[in-house]
A and B are shown apart, each in its own frame.
Chain A
Amino acid sequence: MTALLELEGVKVSYRVAGRPRLVAVDDVSLSLGTRQVLGLVGESGCGKSTLARAICGLEGLDSGSITFDGTPVTRLGMRTRDRKLLRIQMVFQNPYASLNPRRTIGRQIEDGLRVNPDRTAWTVPDLLAHVELDASARSRFPHQFSGGQRQRIAIARAIASGPDLLVGDEPIASLDASLQARVAGLMRSLALETGASLLFISHDLSVVRVIADDVAVMSRGRIVERGDVNEVWSNPQQPYTKQLLSAIPKVDGLGVLPG
């Protein structure tokens, strides 16, 4: 099977004033198949967001390669993006910043529809219904919605373009806690329903446990472990994974503080 997304020895570093370069992603190799949901977990600062940005072409690589459906992912610049790479779509952490405040929801979703190779795949009311929003949302502006609703709109916009790969970089972190699992579940079901794969990045292990097929655990710029999510949970191999999982409080009613 050829992978939808293939990362080979990817390294990304940043210049930090007065210090040596910070290596955020260090020699990461990773592959993601079609119609697969991969959860990428790790603590803040481990490099998971940088990796997501690199996959979308928002960061340049020091070395290594990223290939999407046979096409090398190049850094997004001032030129028009390769049409093939438009089939990677991203949902960002902050829906307050990722939507244009001056355009209606309908117009922004139409932007996505315009790049969908299958022009008849969706209509705006269809998409709004799929993310559980009222059809009247179409003529309104982002500030008229709550955080959770805005993130649903961002998801609808991403899905509108008919992606083969949906990347969510902490897409639920800025939402009300009790909504997080619901929005994450929505991303999974929409991605799979449209035949796309989902790379879901989160620091929230319990949500990843529930929505991902596979999980990759990242620490200090490296992937330390990757496998089927249930297997990793029940039988973690690496000390770091064990430490991370043991910090999740157990629902046993015993009042044991983790760690």
Chain B
Amino acid sequence: MSQPSASGGLGIRDLTLSIGRGEKAKRILRGISLDVPAGRITGLAGESGSGKTMTGMTVLGLQPEQATVGGVIEFDGRNLLELPTKKLNTLRGNDIAMVFQDPTSSLHPMLSIGSQLTDHLRQHTGMSKREALERARVVLEQVKVPDPAGALKKYPHQFSGGQLQRVAIASAIMCSPSVLIADEPTTALDVTVQAGILRLLRELCDDLGLAILLVTHDLGVMSALADTIAVMREGEIVEHGDRFQVITAPRDPYTRALIDALPRDGSTGAEQATTGDAS
């Protein structure tokens, strides 16, 4: 296995994405520039429809087929947007991996964890089944799934939501990617379970030097996990800075509004909820 390189981050430059043509074109991303460096967790925050998920999906070439994309997504000296599908397929899952919101729908219900974890590894590396299963066991241990050897023989329904998200993370890091895109990785989980997953993502970032792009609307999760936070609104990044600065001294009025909308002790959150978006 090749070790992830320390310099293996992403550089997004002036990324645009629109759906439809001419006058009626809907501009989803309006020139996003963002560095996602190795060994750091870069947070991407924003409300529903701001384009944060679309940014993550576009990195993996998973944007809608009818979308027109412009700009540069630089990875390992290449522009991902110009790579032919075949080349992109060797990168996806291998060098750039993704973790989604709901582990019950991102894993196949009828395949054992062992086969789901080893399939793409064997496809990408040509490893033997035995070697691949051993690697899977090691990775499951790394993400702290209890009884890793037994877990390989189990099916998704036999795990709790939190354990299943660990399995999904294991699946994402099987091929030792250098970039991990985590889109709302803890939103479906109980807070106590969420705490464990946040800790795990931090460890993976520090230990493996992963470049993590963390997409979430949850400013608490951002504040706990992200090193830098970029705030998106209507397809643009309105502010990007150090975590502490963005949370405590936001420069952009929109960021300030998002933070001010959070309920504080003693305030009546219920009144806010009925007048607008509370996230």
Which positions in A face B, CB cutoff 8 Å?
Answer: 37, 43-45, 173-174, 176-182, 184-185, 188-189, 192, 203, 205-207, 209-213, 229-230, 233-234, 243-244, 247-259
Contact = CB atoms under 8 A, between A and B. Distances in A.
Given A181-B278, A210-B263, A234-B266, A205 B223 contact: no
Interface of B: 46-50, 101-102, 160-161, 184, 187-196, 198-199, 202, 216-227, 243-248, 259, 262-263, 265-270, 272-274, 276-279
A45 B193 CA distance: 13
Contact of A230 (B101, B266, B277): B266
Nearest to B265: A234
A244 B217 contact: no
A212 B192 CA distance: 21
A211 B270 CA distance: 4
Contacts, number: 143
Given A44-B161, A212-B270, A249 B224 contact: yes
B270 A188 contact: yes
Contact of A182 (B48, B268, B270): B48
A253 B247 contact: yes
A103 to B, nearest CB: 26
Given A249-B223, A253-B245, A244 B192 contact: yes
Q: Which 4 A-B pairs have the closest CB atoms?
A: A253-B247, A259-B195, A178-B48, A249-B220
Contact of B191 (A185, A230, A248): A248
Residue among B49, B160, B220, B277 with max Cβ neighbours from chain A (10 Å): B220
A247 B195 contact: yes
A256 B273 CA distance: 27
B5 to A, nearest CB: 25
A243 B193 CA distance: 12
B278 A251 contact: no
Nearest to B102: A174
A181 B191 CA distance: 16
B245 to A, nearest CB: 7
29 contacts: A44-B190, A176-B101, A177-B216, A177-B217, A178-B46, A178-B50, A178-B279, A181-B279, A184-B273, A185-B274, A189-B274, A203-B191, A207-B278, A210-B269, A212-B270, A230-B268, A233-B265, A234-B266, A247-B192, A249-B195, A249-B221, A249-B225, A250-B220, A251-B220, A251-B222, A255-B225, A255-B227, A255-B243, A258-B198
A12 to B, nearest CB: 21
Contacts of B221: 249
Given A177-B217, A230-B267, A253 B279 contact: no
B218 A177 contact: yes
Contacts of B48: 176, 178-179, 182
A251 B199 contact: no
Contact of A37 (B190, B220, B244, B270): B270
B273 A257 contact: no
